[in-house]
Chain A
Amino acid sequence: EPEVTQTPSHQVTQMGQEVILRCVPISNHLYFYWYRQILGQKVEFLVSFYNNEISEKSEIFDDQFSVERPDGSNFTLKIRSTKLEDSAMYFCASGPMGQGNQPQHFGDGTRLSIL
């Protein structure tokens, strides 16, 4: 069964540094998403991406964050000038259609630790 893959599984970064989290969505999917989950808290939507542009974003997704699909397979989340509160599990997800019609398939996440 095809799956969403994320790298690295764990990223440790000094506060203030930039970090890039990488995702390879399922190949025939058209919609891509990033979520985060702070330890012990709920999963929070960050951003959705379709047709090479952001289709929706949450209030969490401020100017510190950006997403990119640099080629036909990768989907990246960049966090500039990381803060301690950015420490969380970051999940990438993809779907063949918009979420309103089809549930999403999640990668197994990148644990980001900001020191």
Chain B
Amino acid sequence: RKEVEQDPGPFNVPEGATVAFNCTYSNSASQSFFWYRQDCRKEPKLLMSVYSSGNEDGRFTAQLNRASQYISLLIRDSKLSDSATYLCVVNINEGDKIIFGKGTRLHILP
């Protein structure tokens, strides 16, 4: 099983729709979880951290399920500017190494 696994997509979604991504991780000792977005040929940018209780930031909601070892990201009322690759990122232990998933590509259609 890969350390961090994501559906590569692409997800083609009409503007205004709701879209959800899942990510699974293999190491049950993983400590910290994040969602980043990456635009084509650009650097990853932090979208949000993922907390055990779940957290929301505007149109974005992140959930963590430790028992099933997956993380989700929900985007409501999607906008054209949401088109990007969404990267699931996991810190495996208390050290500084973080593992990136390959990302899920999202295309918002006008």
Contacts and interface: CB of A to CB of B under 8 A. Distances in A.
A41 to B, nearest CB: 7
Interface stretch (A13-21, A66-74, A95-103): A95-103
Name the residue in B43, B87, B94 with the highest tally of chain A Cβ atoms < 10 Å from its Cβ: B43
Interface in A13-49: 31, 33, 41-45, 48
Contact of A103 (B34, B42, B94, B102): B34
Contact of B96 (A56, A108, A109): A56
Interface residues of B, number: 25
**Among all A-B residue pairs, the 5 with the closest Cβ atoms:** A48-B96, A106-B43, A43-B100, A42-B102, A99-B96
Contact of A31 (B45, B49, B96): B96
B96 A91 contact: no
A58 B98 CA distance: 10
A96 to B, nearest CB: 13
20 contacts: A31-B96, A33-B96, A41-B102, A43-B44, A45-B98, A45-B99, A45-B100, A56-B97, A91-B43, A98-B96, A99-B32, A99-B98, A100-B31, A100-B91, A100-B94, A103-B34, A103-B89, A104-B98, A105-B46, A106-B45
